[in-house]
A and B are shown apart, each in its own frame.
Chain A
Amino acid sequence: MSKTAVEKIFSEKSGTDSRAGDYVVANIDYVMANDITAPIAIDAFNDLGMSAKSEKIIIIPDHFIPPKDINSAKQYKKSKDFALDNGTWFYDIGNGGVCHQVMMEKGFAAPGRLIAGADSHTNTYGALSAISTGIGSTEAGVIFATGKMWFKIPETIKINLKGKPSKGVEGKDIILHILSIIKNGGAAYKCMEFSGDIQYIDINERMTMANMTTEAGAKCCFFDTDEKTIEYLNQRNTGEYKIVKSDDNADFEQTIDINMAEIEPSIAIPNSPDNVKHVSEIHEKIDQAYIGSCTNGRIEDIRKAATILKGRKVDRRVRLMVVPASQEVYNQALREGLINTIVESGGYFSGTTCGACLGGYMGVLGPDEVCISSTNRNFIGRMGDKTSKVYLANPSIVAASAILGRIGTPEEI
C-alpha cells in the first residue's frame, strides 16, 4: 500500500503498519525542551521516578535567557541542573541559541527522524525532512523517562510549489501567502508537505516556511529531501539518517497548487499571521523593527539586513534590534563584519535569545507602539502591551522599514 512520508515514519517508529487516523505509541529519536517548558516537564519526569533517557534529551534555554528576573533564573537553573545531573545534551548561552536553530545546527534534525519538542515551533525541522512536532511539557517529561509518546498519525496536505519566486520574495513571503489561503487552524492536526519546485528555495527559507506551518495549526511539516538538504546536512554532525518520501499515489487529504512566481512581498497585519496584505499597501509608522527568532534570525537574514543598512542610518524614531538565532550565527556575523555594519547604522545587536518575539523581554512594546518583526506571531499583545501592534514580514522589509521609519520596501530607500 502506498503511504505518505509521515505515515511511513510513524509506522517505522511505532513498529506498526499504520495509516493517517491511527493512534500509535512511537519511539522518539530526540526530545527538546527550553527554559519555559522544561521545568514543568521535569516535574512530570520526577513524578514518574524513572531514569532519564539522557541520550535523547536536549535542553536549550532561550526564552528568558540570560535570566530576566529571579523567577526566570529559577526556571533556568532547574533546567540546567536537570541537564547536568542526568548528562543530557545541554546548550547554554555562549554555545547555544534559539532552541530550533540549535537543533538543526547541531545535527539532531535529519531526514526520517521523529523529534518532539516542548515548543510549538518544533515543526521547523520538517525543512530537513524530519517529522518534528510541538508537544506540551508533561508529555515531554514522559518522553524523558520512556523515550516514547502517543500520537494520532496526521493526514497530509500536499502543497505543490510551482515556478520561480520573483526577486525580493523570500521564504517568509511564500509561507505568509500560503497562510492567507490555508488560514490559522486550517491545517490543524495535519502534516503540510512541500514538494514541487523546491530547488528554488534555499534551506534557510525552507526553515522559515516550516516554522510557520505552526501558524496554520499543522502538527508537522515535511519538505522532500534534495541536494540542498544533503549539502546542509553534510556540514552538520548528524550521524546516520534515512531519506523517506511520500509515494506518488499516496492518499493526500488535499493538494494545493501554489504558483510561486505570482507571490509578492507580503506582510501579516495585526492580529493574526494569516491576515496577509501586499507590503506595498501598508505605510504605517513604526517604533521598533526586530530581526531575529526561530523564524528569521539566521545568517542569511542578517546578511540581507546588513546589505540594506550598509552606509545608511536607522530612522531616529525607530529601535532596530537584530538578534542572531544562535551563537554560530553570531560568530559568523562577527567574522563577516555584519555586526559592524548594523551597529554603525544605529541598530542594536545582541546575544542570542528569543525573548522579544513573545513579549518576554529584550524588546517589549509599550502602549500603542508599532513593531515590524521578522518573527512568526502578531496576536494581541504578543510582543508587549495589549494596545501595541505587530506586523510580520521578511528581514529585508524589516531592515528597510527601520531606515524609512515606516513600513516600506528595500526599493523605497
Chain B
Amino acid sequence: MMEKVSGRAIVLGDNVDTDQIIPAKYLNTAEPDKLAPHFMENEYPDLAGSIKKGDIIVAGKNFGSGSSREHAVITIKGLGISCIIAESFARIFFRNAINTGIPVIEAKVSANNLEKITVDFRNSRIFCGGKEIEFREYPEFLKNIIESNGLVNYVRSGKW
C-alpha cells in the first residue's frame, strides 16, 4: 500500500448512487477504459473528461449506495482516481473498494472543487486548505486485505 497520495479534489455530494457513477446501460462490459468515460455522465456530462490521474474524490454521506455493481469501482479506477474520501460509504461499494485495492477513507472533509488534497495513510491524516483532518485507522482485519492490495492477493498469500 502506498504511503501518501496528493491530487485535486473532485467534490461530490451526499447519496451518490452506483446508477449515477455508472449507468446500467454500460454494464455489458467490465473494461475500465470503456466504463471510465461515462462516470457520473447523467449529472455531470463533462466531469469524466476533466478528471486527471491522481485526483481524489471527496464526497458526502452514503457514497456508492444502490447496486452491487463492481463496475462502479472499476469505473473510478479506470479514471486513475487515487483515493476516495467520503463522510460515509454504502456497504457493498466499501467492500468492493477494499477487496479490489482502491483506498477509501471515511472522513468529513470540506474541500473546494479542484483544491489540492494530500492523504498521509501512514499517519492517518488528510491535509486540505491549510487544515489537517485525522481519520480513523482501519481495523487490523481490513488492513491486512488493504496491505495485500486486495482480497485475491490476500487469499493467495495463504494468510486467510
Contacts and interface: CB of A to CB of B under 8 A. Distances in A.
A381 B67 CA distance: 14
10 contacts: A25-B160, A36-B27, A40-B71, A134-B68, A137-B70, A185-B65, A219-B91, A358-B19, A358-B24, A386-B42
A36 B90 contact: no
Contacts of A48: 152, 155-156
B91 A217 contact: yes
B47 interface: no
Given A36-B27, A68-B28, A146-B160, A136 B92 contact: yes
Interface string A362-377: 0010000000000001
Interface stretch (A69-77, A124-132, A222-230, A245-253): A69-77
B151 A138 contact: yes
Interface string B59-78: 00110011111110110000
A138 B139 CA distance: 21
B68 A379 contact: no
B150 interface: yes
Given A138-B100, A381-B23, A188 B151 contact: no
A169 interface: no
B96 interface: yes
Interface residues of B, number: 42
A239 B117 CA distance: 55
B20 interface: yes
A290 interface: no
A373 to B, nearest CB: 14
Contact of B155 (A63, A72, A135, A145): A145
A85 interface: no
Given A142-B151, A142-B152, A377-B19, A148 B160 contact: yes
A205 B152 CA distance: 38
Interface string A173-198: 00000000000110011000000000
Interface string B18-39: 0110011101111000000000
B92 A382 contact: no
Contacts of B71: 36, 40
Nearest to A357: B24
A272 B156 contact: no
Contacts of A119: 67-68
Contacts of A4: none
